[in-house]
Structure 1
Amino acid sequence: MKAQIFICAFLLISLIGKAQITFDTTYDHNLNQEFGISILLLPDSAYLCTVNSFNFATGNNQDLLLYKIKPTRNISFLTILGEDSSYFYGGLPGSLIKLHDENYASCGTKVYYNNNSDGIYIKYDRIGNIVFYQLYHGGYQDALYNITETYDHGIVMIGYTTYYDSIQNKTTDDCLLMKVDSNGKVLWRKTFGGLEVDAGYSVHEISEKRLFISCLKKFAINNLVSWIIITDSIGNIIQEKEFNNSSLNCDAAFTTTSLDNQYFLWGCIDTIINSNDYSSPAFIGKLDENLNFVWKTIFNGPTLNGILNVRQLSDSSIVFVGGSYPYAWIGKLTKSGKMIWQKNFQHDTSPDNYFADFQQTWDKGYIITGSTNGPTGQDLWLVKLDSNGVLATDTFNTGTVMIDTKKPSFKAYPNPATDQLYIEFNDGKNETWHLIITDSYGRRVFKKNYTGNYVVEVPLNTLSNGIYFVQGILNGKSINAQPVIIQKTIDP
């Protein structure tokens, strides 16, 4: 009897321990306008998220942010890429990726005051610091929208380029596909297009010798054609197919791969099923190896809707996120495109909500990034739903986390430090600062200079157990000095 009671109690505790956590939180950076782009789930259950942050007060710059957010929803780290009189844009949803070496990469665009632009490749270390970023330009305007790592650890990115074509004696807009090595050096660069305006949105490696890309041809404002291309490993076209305007007359140029080595295509489609339907509803379709539709699911309804990202889960179901104005929108389909469920969400009474990207979490729920409009304007929106797409009624309090990087911040953690010691600095100005560590006798044991926001991992193998003082120096003034205890673990 006691054994049965113990087993029941154990099962109850186990179920409680595995309860699905949900929350709804917004983040505001310096009262700017924030738009969530991409999100990754990290091994420690934290979230890594890229964000566009527009300076609404001055209107003269936009930064690209990288947030690391703890499962408790606190900000662990913030990296800022930006400068005055320039606008930094992240790529499309899904354009933040994990690399084979446990670092991270993303792509985007830098727009200058004269409206010229460069594509950007950014590499982050495993903590979130920028290792380097590289600019690319082949014409007046270059932009990079999506990214993938190849089997040989190269990076392939897709977007568009605008340049002067001397043969046609006109400015040409083409789909841009390029590959760089792990250090950002260009290996090759290809353009695809004709007299129309062309741009690329998705790229995937489907084998060691094949790339699968999606582009959009724009012949006129209301004359858009989806263009799917399969290339070899150096960007030469092997197979291609256009979905002409008799069936697809709007923005349907986003793709991902399926578990059975086929493809998903999504966007919007020109069709009216019911008399009160919106004329260009969102759709998801599955393509076979020959780029023919296997099935197509159309989300017809009376309101404007759009899908921003699609992922197939390990159980073969398909989850999508986007917006169904004025709500954020998430849904789940069977592997054959049949609806399982769909949900709309609104943060407080916000008139403008959308979900941009998501990942499935350890408890089979979903962590989602997007944007919502609130008291401080447009803010980064982070939502955790359960496995059925539900935000529990007893969820964590909604609220806005205010981040002010106009004032320098400096902290050391963990304290005591047993295996690792991190020093985090944020000033929001990309200035050079100095890290100094002294022991209890006042002897300097570590000094190094850094530029901009940074998390420094201090090697403990050079330090003995004891008390140390960690200090940050900016413009000749101490930012903060704090004692840290080093208490390294000793292997038995």
Structure 2
Amino acid sequence: MKKYLIVFLLFLIQIECIAQYSRVYESYRKNISRIVEGIDTDIIEDEQGKTYFGSIAWSLDPKQTFNYTFVSKLDRLGNVEWAKPISDTVQEPSIPRLMAKLRDGRYIVGGSIVQDSFTSNQNWLAFFDGDFNKLDEKIYPVEYDANDLWSFHQHSDGDLIFCGLSGKYYRESGGGLGWGRAFILCTDSLGEKKWYREFYDTSRPRDLHWFSHVTEDHLGNIYVCGFNSKAAVTGNRLIVKLNKEGTVLWYKEIASPGFANRLMCVQERPDHNMILIGSLFDLQLRSDSVLISIMDPLGNVLSEFTVPKNYYTAAYWRCRPTIDGNIICAGGLQRNEDPNGNDFRNGFAHKLNLDGKILWEQEYSAVDSLVELFFNLGLSRDGGFYFGGISWLPEIYESRNWLVRVDSNGCLIPGCNPVGITEKESYPEHYVLAPNPAQEDLYVYSNEYHYKASEISIFNEWGTQVYSSRIETAYKHKINLSQFSAGIYYYVIHRANQKLQSGRFVKI
């Protein structure tokens, strides 16, 4: 037991030593001018606190054909250990949008890849081992020619669920993306396609449908959300619910006249209603604000509100559930409108609870430049966060990868003061989990005098829910840990939508 305790303490010390930082990186130069780089994928932290992200680098110089997709590995202090191209992207450029570690230890990177002599983009997925050697690669051709995997979720049964945009280029005057269909793709764990669904209601030019986030509820049903754009101006929120076989249970389009809407995140709450997070763009004021909706499992909107703001415009690019049962979102924010119309957005992040209340807000800037914003994010094993995107350098007309690593309050400097209420809420210690660390069984005890049934949800270090059960009795509720791998787990005990207690335990 003494040996286990020493190992456990060393493990916690190792986690606590992961540093906060804000770094700007150049992945790959190769004597190319006017290089543009940005972190486009999720940021992944491994068991040793090392960090991985996917990025793309290309040249704005029309005389130079250059386009590379990279994966970079950083040490615990944010220093680059290596940055390697993961495809020969001069001939077939790939654009990474998502990155994840699967339950069997493999990594995936997905997005789109150029095909047919640069005339189409098709959905692309690559599998890698722990050292990011490519194991396999899949391309999923469809009818349209501008496709992109945008969001990913590994289903509880092991299948891989993706969503995104299936678009078609507008070949006439003005060019650009002319049509778009929102899609959902399901594959098995090896990437073999099982089913594919598209959603659209028009074939007019400039009408786009796009899915941006996919998740799963406690019954294994799939929720996917996004938005449409009518004539490239107005837009409505989209959400669809399917069973795991791909049968559509319902499909909703939610309009807000006078505004363009989009949904960026859908997540189940403890009461089994869904929280929807997105943005509301005022077509007259030309500014964004954050929009929160609560929806029941039948698709009925129960409540809806915009988040009070003290800025000109703000929008989330990515959101994901945290290991303590809340939601973290990151994107770009601009406090005041620039009279010359310049884009002076900074990176920013909100941590929200499942009622949509902002627990804290933080704003970040790498250098005093034009646009700096976050495209993606990741979770740290110690409760902190990673935010990744671009930092634009106007003096040389180039951009760089920008990665920020913060603590659980969004602080670069320990002890900073977040705007809003911090995550440190006061909960009476109604429950005791023992033993901790635990090897085979974990027991939950309640000291409530008049006990009412509650529920415990357990999450791994990546924020994925791995266990849930009702606590029917106050005495010795048993949780068998035989299917849990060794490591740190986080729990939330709740009753309906009331959070009672949260914490962590160690499986040895």
| TM-score normalised by the chain length of structure 2 | 0.65
Shift of 1:85: 4.6
For 1:96, the equivalent position in structure 2 comes to 99
Q: Which residue of 2 aligns with 1:240?
A: 251
Partner of 1:389: 410
Letter in 1 for 2:27: H
Among 102, 109, 116, the alignment partner of 1:106 is: 109
1:136 to 136, 140, 146: 140
Q: Indicate which of 358, 363, 372 corresponds to 2:391.
A: 372
Match of 2:496 in 1: none
Q: 1:312 corresponds to which residue?
A: 321
Describe the SS at the equivalent of 2:235: strand
Assess if the C-alpha contact under 8 Å between 1:51 and 1:380 holds in 2.
yes
SS in 2 for 1:389: coil
Contact 1:69-1:75 within 8 A present in 2 as well: yes
Residues 297 and 337, structure 1, Cα contact 8 Å, conserved in 2: no
Give the corresponding residue for 2:263.
253
Letter in 2 for 1:177: I
**Structure 1 pair 226/76, CA: closer, same or farther in 2 (3 Å)?**
same
Structure 2: how far apart are the matches of 1:75 and 1:227? 39
What SS does the corresponding residue of 2:65 show, helix, strand or coil? coil
Cα 1:194/1:372, change in 2 over 3 Å: same
Residues 162 and 368 (structure 1 numbering): CA distance in 2 closer, same or farther, change over 3 Å? closer
User: Are positions 1:361 and 2:389 aligned together?
Assistant: no
- CA distance in 2 between counterparts of 1:190 and 1:30 reads 38
Letter in 2 for 1:53: A
Which structure: larger Rg? 1
Distance 2:77 2:374 in 1: 20
Q: Does residue 321 of structure 2 align to residue 328 of structure 1?
A: no
Which letter maps to 2:184? L
User: Which sections of structure 2, spanning at least 5 residues, go unmatched?
Assistant: 1-8, 30-34, 170-177, 335-344, 417-508
Instruction: Give the conservation status (yes or no) of the 8 Å contact 2:24–2:400.
Output: yes
Structure 2 match to 1:181: 188
Task: Spell out the pairing of 1:91-240 with structure 2 (5 A cutoff).
Answer: 91=97, 95-112=98-115, 114-141=118-145, 142-162=147-167, 173-195=180-202, 196-206=207-217, 209-240=220-251
Three-state SS of the structure 2 residue aligned to 1:100 is coil
Identity across matched positions, percent: 16
Matched, 1:67 2:72: yes
Partner Cα separation in structure 1 for residue 228 and residue 325 of structure 2: 31
Pair 1:389–1:304, CA change in 2 (3 A): same
Residues 1:299 and 1:135: Cα distance change in structure 2 (over 3 Å): farther
One-letter code aligned to 2:413: A
**Displacement of 1:215 after TM fit?**
3.4
Measured in 1, the distance between the counterparts of 2:17 and 2:101 equals 28
Residues 1:36 and 2:45 aligned together: no
In structure 1, distance between residues paired with 2:220 and 2:269:
19
Cα 1:147–1:318 change in 2 (3 A) is closer
Letter in 1 for 2:368: T
Q: Deviations over 1:435-483 (max 9, x none)?
A: xxxxxxxxxxxxxxxxxxxxxxxxxxxxxxxxxxxxxxxxxxxxxxxxx
1:398-437 aligned at under 5 Å gives the runs none
Secondary structure, counterpart of 1:332 in structure 2: strand
Spell out, residue by residue over 1:302-348, the C-alpha distance to the aligned partner (whole angstroms, 9 max, x if none). Answer: 42321112233343333221111321111223443233321211112
Aligned residue pair count: 370
Q: Distance in 1 between matches of 2:216 and 2:15?
A: 39
- Could you tell me whether the CA contact under 8 Å between 2:73 and 2:80 is conserved in 1? yes
1:36 shift after superposition: 0.9
Look up the match of 2:480. none
1:370: how far off? 1.7
1:47 aligns with 51
2:366 corresponds to 1:351: no
**Matches of 1:162 and 1:336, distance apart in 2:** 34
Matched position secondary structure for 2:288: coil
Q: 1:394 to 1:378 in 2, by over 3 A?
A: farther
**Deviation for aligned residue 1:114:** 4.1
Give the superposition deviation at 1:381.
1.0
Aligned to 1:486: none
